[in-house]
Chain A
Amino acid sequence: MASLMALSMTVAGCAEVQRAAEDVARQSGNPRLAGAIHGVGNVVGSLFPIGYEEESSIGQAIALQVVARYGGVVDQPELVRYVNLVGRAVANTSDRPDIPYRVAILDHESINAFAAPAGYIFVTRGLLRQIKNEAELAAVLGHEIAHVSEKHILDVIQRSKRLAGVTEAGLSYATSNPAAFKGVIDGAVKKLLDEGLDQEKETDADTVGEVFAARVGYDAEAYVGLLMRLRDLKGDDRALFKTHPNFSARIEAVQKTIRTKRLVSNGLVLQERFSRMTKRV
Chain B
Amino acid sequence: MIPPRSFWIPLIALWIGLFVWGTEAWADTVYVQAKTAQLRAGKTSLDAVVGNVKFGDALEVVGRDGSWMEVKTSAGARGWIFANKTSTSKPSGGNDTLARLGQSMRGGDASATTASAGARGLDKASEGYANRAGVSARDREVVDRMTAYQIPDQDVEEFMREGGLGEYAK
Contact = CB atoms under 8 A, between A and B. Distances in A.
Query: From DSSP, what is the main secondary structure of chain A's interface residues?
Result: helix
Interface in B54-76: 55-56
Given A63-B146, A102-B146, A89 B166 contact: yes
B107 A45 contact: yes
A101 B94 CA distance: 12
Contact of A96 (B94, B109, B150): B94
A268 B118 CA distance: 32
A168 B93 CA distance: 23
B102 A49 contact: yes
A56 B113 contact: yes
Interface string B89-133: 001011111111111111111101110011000111110111011
A193 interface: no
A143 B162 CA distance: 24
Contacts of B143: 60, 63-64, 67, 120
A97 B151 contact: no
How big is chain B's contact interface, by range? 35 or more
A93 B33 contact: yes
B15 interface: no
Interface string B7-37: 0000000000000000000000000011100
A255 interface: no
B81 to A, nearest CB: 12
Interface of A: 4, 8, 11-12, 14-15, 18, 38, 41-42, 44-57, 60-61, 63-65, 67-68, 72-73, 81, 84-85, 88-89, 91-93, 95-100, 102, 104, 120, 134, 167-175, 178-179, 181-182, 185-186, 215-218, 268, 270, 273
Interface of B: 33-35, 55-56, 84-85, 91, 93-110, 112-114, 117-118, 122-126, 128-130, 132-133, 135-136, 138-140, 142-143, 146-147, 149-151, 155-156, 159-160, 162-166, 169
